[in-house]
A and B are shown apart, each in its own frame.
Chain A
Amino acid sequence: MSLVFAGVCSHAPGITGRKVMARADDVETLYTAMNNMRLALEASRPDALIIITAEHFANFFMDNMPAFCVGMAQDYQGPIEDPQWLGIERQNIPGNPDLSRRLIEHTMQEVDLAYAEEWKCDHGIMVPLHFLTPRYDLPIIPVNINCQGPPLTPLHRAWTLGEALRKACDAVPERIAIVGTGGISHWPATPDSGKINAPWDRDFLDRWSNNDRERLLDYSDERTYLEAGQGGFEIRTYIAVSGATAGTPATVHYYRPIPIFAVGCTVGIVDLPEAA
């Protein structure tokens, strides 16, 4: 089998943790968009979900920071954050170590990976799962790209990771879904929290929805930092999804800057042909 679903969404902790501080219309429209993404994911009948995240020091620190790491655990725990702060209770999320191992072995043919048999999930995984698999019953395979501790993973390597993951998915019999989480422009956890560069976001989403490799890779970290903040580095997760779906356009189903959530909230789904 291969990819049966691919998409991207925001993962900002405020989406669940600061819900009560947001305008009702922002909450309603975003939550509806996330629910619609869940319905599309469920309709694809996946056996597992690869969730590509930009974690925030949940598992990896500058004492041993991998450019890429893939989970290979029986199960995963999260959130590491205070449940009340994040608005998500602690969960045990199933994994599939056998499938992880096969995907890792295939992907390693083209990209050097770290792997982990222990993994704690932060909001980068928990916020999307809260909406997409609210019963936490779909096995996940977490994938992390270093978007936090410079030197960061180069953008073209994020694309290559996506391509290699796609080949791996093509080589196994399971039905695989893949979701990239994060971004787009934001200045999270700083005094600038709530600042959003919506024109920058819309331009990026135009590149993403057209699966335009050349334009997606045409960013420098220096420029992204100035124009899109620290959170802008998380475009790597979206680029990896584009690499996994090279040649296929995507649709942005929702984009709205929501300052109290500290990000332009986004839901996008790749227009994959329907799998049998």
Chain B
Amino acid sequence: MSLYYVQKLLYQLNREPDLQQQYLEDPDSVLRHYRLDEEELATLKKPDIGMLYIMGVNGQLLMHYAALCGYAWPDYIQAMRTALEQHGNVRAGLYATTDGKGAI
């Protein structure tokens, strides 16, 4: 597990439009610069937004990656809720759910 590097990738993607474009066209050319394990690589490339949430990715990073991957806001929230049902609560970090009963 290298949650730090998953989040660092998303941090750099979120603030660099050129890197976003490169990532959309050729993700491997970007991903190879980060120390990621097989599960993380597969989850990012799928992309499995709900699983990234379960891994502990900070929501302030994840919501923008979800938007980059084409998720509308309600779909982003639903992806996390579905993943909670499938995998249980978040493994690390500050963005664990308290009850999963937000309003939207």
Q: Which residues of A contact B (CB under 8 A)?
A: 14, 17-18, 21, 56-59, 61-63, 80-82, 85, 120, 148, 150, 187-195, 225-226, 229-230, 259-260, 262
A58-B15, A61-B8, A61-B11 given; A191·B77 CB < 8 A: yes
Do A195 and B102 have beta carbons less than 8 Å apart? yes
CB closest residue in chain A, given B97:
A191
Do B60 and A192 have beta carbons less than 8 Å apart? no
A62-B4, A80-B15, A120-B15 given; A194·B58 CB < 8 A: no
- Count A-B pairs with CB separation below 8 Å: 92
A186 to B42, CA, bound (A): 31
A18-B73, A57-B60, A148-B60 given; A191·B102 CB < 8 A: yes
Since A82-B68, A191-B102, A192-B101 are in contact, a sample of 13 more A-B pairs with Cβ atoms closer than 8 Å, ordered by chain A residue number, is A14-B73, A21-B73, A57-B15, A58-B15, A81-B14, A148-B58, A190-B96, A191-B53, A192-B102, A193-B77, A195-B103, A226-B98, A260-B104
A195 to B73, CA, bound (A): 16
Q: How far is the CB of B69 from chain A (nearest CB, A)?
A: 12
CB closest residue in chain B, given A187:
B102
Chain B residues, CB < 8 A from A14: 73
CB closest residue in chain B, given A63:
B8
Answer whether residue B62 sits at the interface, using C-beta atoms and an 8 A cutoff: yes
Chain B residues, CB < 8 A from A148: 58, 60
B: contact size bracket: 20 to 34
A188 to B4, CA, bound (A): 20
User: Contact check: which of A61, A120, A192, A225 meets B97 at CB < 8 Å?
Assistant: A192
Do A81 and B64 have beta carbons less than 8 Å apart? yes
A57-B58, A57-B60 given; A194·B67 CB < 8 A: no
CB closest residue in chain B, given A229:
B98
User: Contact check: which of A61, A81, A120, A190 meets B95 at CB < 8 Å?
Assistant: A190
What are 20 inter-chain pairs, A to B, with CB distance below 8 A?
A: A56-B60, A57-B58, A58-B14, A62-B7, A81-B14, A81-B67, A82-B68, A187-B98, A189-B60, A189-B62, A191-B80, A191-B102, A192-B97, A192-B99, A193-B104, A195-B98, A226-B98, A230-B59, A259-B102, A259-B104
Do A191 and B103 have beta carbons less than 8 Å apart? no
A80 to B13, CA, bound (A): 10
Chain A residues, CB < 8 A from B84: 191
Answer whether residue B51 sits at the interface, using C-beta atoms and an 8 A cutoff: no
A61 to B103, CA, bound (A): 30
Do A194 and B63 have beta carbons less than 8 Å apart? no
Chain A residues, CB < 8 A from B44: none
Do B59 and A188 have beta carbons less than 8 Å apart? yes
Do A192 and B15 have beta carbons less than 8 Å apart? no
Chain B residues, CB < 8 A from A230: 59, 94-95
A61 to B10, CA, bound (A): 11
Q: Which 5 A-B pairs have the closest CB atoms?
A: A189-B59, A194-B103, A259-B103, A56-B60, A194-B102
